[in-house]
């Protein structure tokens, strides 16, 4: 029999229950016991739901209160001293690493002040994981009552035998980094770490686990030789333990493993291998050819990264190919990756039109797809004839739908000319014109766009969406919010203002809701990091802009400000990447359509008197194909072109900013430079300022604002701390080039900490402004 398998299930619950519980716990409104109970309830509900769908192999330990990599950091006691020294409850120590903790002294406890660990993108997704941070001489120790064992037993007690999911040792270390000031290469610690896996796996076996899913997605990357070499000793050692540990299914996803296929012989004693054949179907044959004589192949045929209904015909064909080669008992039908990246259930969507709703499949629906495909392969297609027929009808209907095709958009795309990618003059001429118009001081201060999205803002928007208040009332409310943030920025003494984005639910969804070719959902939330979720809009057809999207708010904000007001847009690549893209036309075509729509918006903003315009591209880096080579070059070429197409319609005196919130820009620095943005703001506060050296090496001529403080945490940076950061930056960047700004937008913060942090930031900038004014 061909079994069905899910690699991981979304954690939040049907109504974002986990988000609500964790935030209530952080806010002191839910006890620790209540939070833990809610986690348990959700796990059970998700296991049951998969069981009811008929899934044979159900994951456990895919749940997390924040992030599964962070779970492993705690599980292996890989915790920097700065967290352990406070003797916090394990769950609080866990959250302290995830989001930082700042607590005043009380009678009982001493004061706590720790920043979070670094958080970065999980491969090429919009999910963030907490980066393992290791020390020279790092030791590991298995935590007592290990989470994977506890959760396995929890499911077992409910009558469900699960397959625990672990991040594999090579990937865990390969994704890690040495702590600031430490020299250790994380992968060199693999021998230290291995005994902990041995102990954990032994305990899982004792608890009754027959198989374990061990995730080694790093195998899809270009691996440095020292990382690649680590697989052999690790898996020989583990499989050498024989029956003492569960059988291992080694899972890879988000890419192919063909370029690392020489690792496979070393893994031939591993029970099974999982590959993603949604993303890379062509790897199937090579991997089959490289399997050991008894090894299982888990084929990922249902997309864990997108929401399109699986095409049963092609999925079954691919699966049958594997069955022909290996036999029914050696093939597992699986999701391509964890379903973490898909929303919970389509059933919650009451407002979607039937026509498009029929094209989608969310996590719950995907579990049913998996069992149908497994049955088709086990018992023959006729055994699920009705499902196959309905599926092919739906796939066909989408194929021929008038919704997907807009000749006017295609026509405009065909008329794009090379000059449309170029600003009128080179940077030196532009910056002189901008300086004349804007008259900014040295070390200009600004923010990245959003100000706190308060409860009140969300409530009013919710009331407006539900029709409880009118459009005029909502507009009035937004205007008042804009007035408030303008006034606050005046008081803070910032130099370039923003309107604060109060009207936006999300920087991508907001645009999705205003563009033709998109549909959006009401409940389709996906975890982005910790308790934070996004509702990616869905691109179903050709994209165009029926009317201006942001002009009203920005124009109003500019009209009430005595300093330059920065207009705020989300760039084409970010709109694309943080939406669910179409799978029927190339992403470059969708990006170009978005770029044309945004170009019109940029030009309209300028015409409305907004002379600083920021086009955010935080997803540019994450879209980079995971492996070096032609695919990467192609991506960079069309991604850069889309950005340039979107911003190049303006005069020299209009200053174009762009923003990125990641610090790993070394490997595609040339693309960042090619954007030709006048000012870049980049996340930098959690990384070594040394990373900025690339700007020196490449003689980057334009302006840069490396973030001076982390915005993911409520922790307030001191003025001294910010001054130190600026001082470090000045080792690499000239004072004429440097802007002072936070790492990213402030929407997730509270006003209290926001104001204090910005006061400290502005004071730090003023300090350097004076210092350099005197020096000249
Ligand atoms: N798409 C996207 N990806 C991104 C980012 C981003 O900003 N957007 N930023 C980076 C980091 N990721 C982030 C992701 C989410 C959030 C975030 O703040 N999310 C909000 C939801 C934002 C949103 O869509 N809000 C809606 C809906 C809010 C809501 O929950 N409303 C209530 C009702 C109102 C209430 O009583 O509060 C409901 O629907 O039940 C709105 O404001 O209108 C959250 O999880 O809380 C922040 C950063 C990387 N990736
Ligand atoms: C994730 S990048 C965020 C940029 C956006 N302008 C904001 O400030 O929220
Ligand atoms: Zn950002």
Query: Over 80: is that where the pLDDT of 776 sits?
Result: no
Same domain as 68, residue 107: no
Same domain as 505, residue 389: no
Which residue range forms the structural domain that includes residue 492?
Answer: 407-775
Q: End of a domain among 334, 368, 400?
A: 400
pLDDT number for residue 325? 97
* CB 578 near ligand 1, within 6 Å: yes
Same domain as 676, residue 536: yes
* CB 522 near ligand 1, within 6 Å: no
CA of 718 to the centre of ligand 3 (A): 21
DSSP calls for 635-674? HHHHHHHHHHHHHTTS-TTSEEEEEE--S--GGGHHHHHH
Pocket test of ligand 1: the residue of 341, 344, 448, 462 to mutate, having most ligand atoms within 8 Å of its CB, is 462
The pLDDT tens digits for 725-736 are: 999 999 999 999
Closest CA to 369 of 671, 21, 50: 50
The protein residue whose alpha carbon is closest to atom 1 in ligand 2 is 618
Q: CA-to-CA distance for 247 and 332, rounded, in angstroms?
A: 15
Instruction: Map residue 520 onto helix, strand or coil.
Output: coil
Average pLDDT over residues 161-172: 98
Phi, psi of 429 (to 5 degrees): -70, -40
Same domain as 357, residue 473: no
User: In CATH, what number is assigned to the domain containing residue 542?
Assistant: 3.20.20.210
CB 134 within 8 A of CB 179: yes
* CB 459 near ligand 1, within 6 Å: yes
Same domain as 552, residue 411: yes
Number of domains in the chain: 3
Least confident of 116-120, 220-224, 473-477, 702-706: 116-120
Same domain as 346, residue 269: yes
CA of 485 to the centre of ligand 1 (A): 20
Q: How confident is the model at residue 715 (pLDDT cuts 50, 70, 90)?
A: confident
Active-site positions? 712
DSSP calls for 671-701? HHHHT--SEEEE--TTS-GGGGHHHHHTT--
Cα torsion 27, 683, 483, 654 to 10°: value is: -170
Q: End of a domain among 383, 400, 417?
A: 400
Average pLDDT over residues 253-278: 96
Q: End of a domain among 353, 380, 400?
A: 400
The pLDDT tens digits for 285-311 are: 999 999 999 999 999 999 999 999 999
- Partners of 704 in beta bridges: 680, 738
193 or 715, higher pLDDT: 193
532 is in an annotated binding site: yes
Pocket test of ligand 2: the residue of 120, 447, 448, 741 to mutate, having most ligand atoms within 8 Å of its CB, is 448
Same domain as 85, residue 234: no
CA of 449 to the centre of ligand 3 (A): 9
Average pLDDT, the chain: 96
CA of 568 to the centre of ligand 2 (A): 9
169 or 109, higher pLDDT: 169
Report how far apart, in Å, the C-alpha atoms of 709 and of each of 178, 203, 614, 622, 755 are: 21, 42, 20, 22, 13
Ligand 2 atom closest to residue 450's alpha carbon, by position in its atom list: 8
* CB 619 near ligand 1, within 6 Å: no
The pLDDT tens digits for 462-490 are: 999 999 999 999 999 999 999 999 999 99
CA of 500 to the centre of ligand 1 (A): 15
Q: CA-to-CA distance for 217 and 257, rounded, in angstroms?
A: 9
CA of 449 to the centre of ligand 2 (A): 6
CA 279 to chain centre: 18
Return the structure tokens found at 337.
């990756």
Same domain as 653, residue 516: yes
Average pLDDT over residues 143-165: 98
Phi, psi of 132 (to 5 degrees): -60, 135
Same domain as 87, residue 136: no
Close Cβ partners of 306 (under 8 Å, ≥ 6 residues apart):
342, 580, 581, 583
Query: Over 80: is that where the pLDDT of 662 sits?
Result: no
The protein residue whose alpha carbon is closest to atom 7 in ligand 2 is 745
CB 213 within 8 A of CB 249: yes
Query: Over 90: is that where the pLDDT of 668 sits?
Result: no
* CB 462 near ligand 1, within 6 Å: yes
pLDDT number for residue 741? 98
Same domain as 711, residue 593: yes
- ipTM score: 0.97
661 is in an annotated binding site: yes
* CB 747 near ligand 1, within 6 Å: yes
Query: Over 90: is that where the pLDDT of 686 sits?
Result: no
Same domain as 180, residue 90: no
Query: Over 80: is that where the pLDDT of 775 sits?
Result: no
DSSP calls for 13-50? -TT-HHHHHHHHHHTTSS-HHHHHHHHHHHHHHHHHHH
Among all chains, which residue has been given the structure tokens 């009331």?
463
pLDDT number for residue 108? 83
Q: How confident is the model at residue 397 (pLDDT cuts 50, 70, 90)?
A: very high
* CB 223 near ligand 2, within 6 Å: no
Query: Over 90: is that where the pLDDT of 338 sits?
Result: yes
E-strand ranges in 382-501 read: 497-498
Average pLDDT over residues 42-70: 98
Pocket test of ligand 1: the residue of 128, 458, 539, 576 to mutate, having most ligand atoms within 8 Å of its CB, is 458
The pLDDT tens digits for 755-764 are: 999 999 999 9
| Model confidence, pTM | 0.96
Closest ligand by atom to 536 CA: 1
CA of 501 to the centre of ligand 3 (A): 13
The pLDDT tens digits for 558-593 are: 999 999 999 999 999 999 999 999 999 999 999 999
Instruction: Map residue 91 onto helix, strand or coil.
Output: helix
* CB 505 near ligand 1, within 6 Å: yes
Report how far apart, in Å, the C-alpha atoms of 16 and of each of 12, 13, 23, 208, 348 are: 5, 5, 11, 31, 12
449 is in an annotated binding site: yes
Average pLDDT over residues 481-500: 98
Ligand 2 atom closest to residue 618's alpha carbon, by position in its atom list: 2
Close Cβ partners of 437 (under 8 Å, ≥ 6 residues apart):
611, 653
Ligand 1 atom closest to residue 15's alpha carbon, by position in its atom list: 40
Pocket test of ligand 2: the residue of 449, 504, 571 to mutate, having most ligand atoms within 8 Å of its CB, is 449
Query: Over 90: is that where the pLDDT of 107 sits?
Result: no
Average pLDDT over residues 208-234: 97
Same domain as 719, residue 646: yes
Q: How confident is the model at residue 774 (pLDDT cuts 50, 70, 90)?
A: confident
């Amino acid at each position: 029999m061909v079994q069905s398998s899910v690699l991981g299930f979304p954690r939040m619950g049907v109504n974002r229950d986990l988000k609500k519980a964790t935030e209530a716990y952080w806010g002191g409104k839910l006890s620790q016991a209540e939070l833990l109970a809610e986690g348990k309830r959700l796990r059970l509900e998700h296991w049951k739901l998969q069981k009811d769908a008929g899934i044979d192999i159900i994951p456990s330990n895919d749940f997390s209160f924040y992030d599964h990599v962070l779970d492993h950091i705690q599980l292996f006691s890989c915790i920097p001293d700065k967290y352990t020294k406070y003797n916090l409850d394990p769950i609080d120590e866990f959250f302290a690493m995830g989001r930082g903790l700042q607590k005043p002294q009380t009678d009982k406890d001493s004061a706590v002040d720790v920043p979070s660990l670094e958080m970065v993108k999980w491969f090429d997704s919009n999910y963030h994981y907490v980066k393992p941070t290791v020390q020279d001489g790092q030791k590991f120790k298995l935590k007592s009552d290990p989470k994977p064992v506890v959760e396995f037993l929890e499911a077992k007690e409910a009558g469900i035998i699960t397959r625990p999911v672990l991040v594999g040792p090579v990937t865990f270390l390969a994704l890690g980094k040495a702590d600031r000031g430490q020299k250790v290469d994380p992968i060199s610690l693999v021998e230290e770490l291995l005994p902990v896996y041995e102990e954990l796996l032994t305990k899982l076996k004792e608890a009754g686990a027959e198989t374990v899913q061990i995730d080694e997605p790093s195998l899809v990357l270009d691996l440095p030789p020292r990382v690649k070499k680590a697989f052999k000793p690790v898996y020989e050692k583990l499989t050498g333990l024989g029956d003492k540990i569960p059988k291992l299914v080694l899972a890879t996803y988000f890419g192919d493993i063909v370029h690392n296929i020489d690792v496979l012989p070393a893994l031939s004693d591993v029970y099974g291998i999982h590959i993603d054949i949604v993303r890379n179907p062509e790897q199937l044959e090579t991997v089959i050819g490289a399997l050991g004589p008894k090894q299982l192949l888990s084929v990922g045929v249902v997309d864990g990264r997108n929401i399109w209904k699986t095409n049963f015909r092609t999925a079954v064909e691919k699966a049958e190919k594997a069955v022909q080669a290996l036999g029914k008992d050696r093939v597992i039908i699986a999701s391509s990756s964890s379903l973490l990246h898909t929303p919970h259930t389509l059933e919650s969507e009451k407002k979607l039109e039937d026509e498009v709703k029929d094209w989608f499949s969310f996590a719950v629906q995907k579990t049913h797809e998996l069992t149908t495909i497994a049955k088709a392969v086990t018992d023959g297609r006729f055994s699920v004839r009705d499902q196959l027929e309905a599926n092919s009808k739906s796939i066909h209907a989408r194929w021929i739908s008038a919704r997907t095709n807009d000749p006017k958009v295609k026509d405009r795309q065909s008329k794009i000319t090379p000059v449309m990618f170029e600003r009128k003059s080179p940077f030196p001429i532009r910056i002189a014109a901008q300086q004349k118009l804007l008259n900014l001081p040295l070390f200009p201060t600004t923010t990245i766009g959003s100000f706190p999205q308060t409860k009140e803002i969300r409530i009013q928007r919710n009331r407006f969406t539900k029709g409880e208040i009118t459009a005029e009332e909502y507009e009035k409310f937004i205007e008042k919010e804009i007035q408030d943030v303008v006034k606050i920025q005046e008081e803070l003494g910032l130099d370039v203002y923003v309107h604060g984005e109060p009207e936006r639910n999300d920087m991508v969804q907001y645009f999705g809701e205003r563009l033709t070719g998109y549909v959006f959902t009401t409940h389709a939330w996906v975890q982005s990091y910790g308790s934070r979720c996004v509702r990616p809009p869905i691109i179903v057809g050709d994209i165009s802009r029926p009317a201006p999207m942001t002009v009203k708010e920005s124009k109003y904000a500019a009209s009430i400000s005595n300093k330059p007001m920065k207009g705020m847009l989300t760039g084409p690549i970010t709109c694309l990447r943080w939406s669910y893209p179409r799978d029927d036309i190339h992403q470059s075509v969708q990006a170009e359509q978005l770029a044309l729509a945004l170009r019109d918006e940029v030009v309209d903003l300028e015409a409305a008197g907004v002379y600083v315009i920021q086009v955010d591209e935080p997803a540019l880096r994450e879209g980079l194909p995971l492996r070096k080579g032609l695919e990467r070059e192609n991506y960079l070429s069309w991604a850069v072109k889309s950005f340039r197409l979107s911003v190049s319609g303006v005069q020299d005196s209009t200053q174009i900013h762009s923003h990125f919130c990641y610090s790993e820009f070394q490997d595609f620095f040339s693309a960042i430079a090619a954007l030709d943005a006048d000012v870049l703001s980049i996340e930098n506060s959690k990384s070594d300022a040394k990373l900025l050296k690339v700007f020196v090496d490449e003689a980057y001529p334009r302006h840069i604002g490396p973030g001076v403080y982390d915005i993911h945490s409520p922790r307030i940076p001191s003025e001294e701390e910010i001054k130190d950061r600026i001082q470090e930056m000045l080792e690499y960047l000239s004072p004429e080039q440097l802007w002072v700004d936070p790492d990213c937008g402030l929407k997730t913060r509270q006003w209290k900490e926001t104001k204090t942090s910005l006061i400290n930031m502005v004071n730090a900038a003023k300090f350097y402004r004076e210092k350099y004014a005197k020096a000249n």
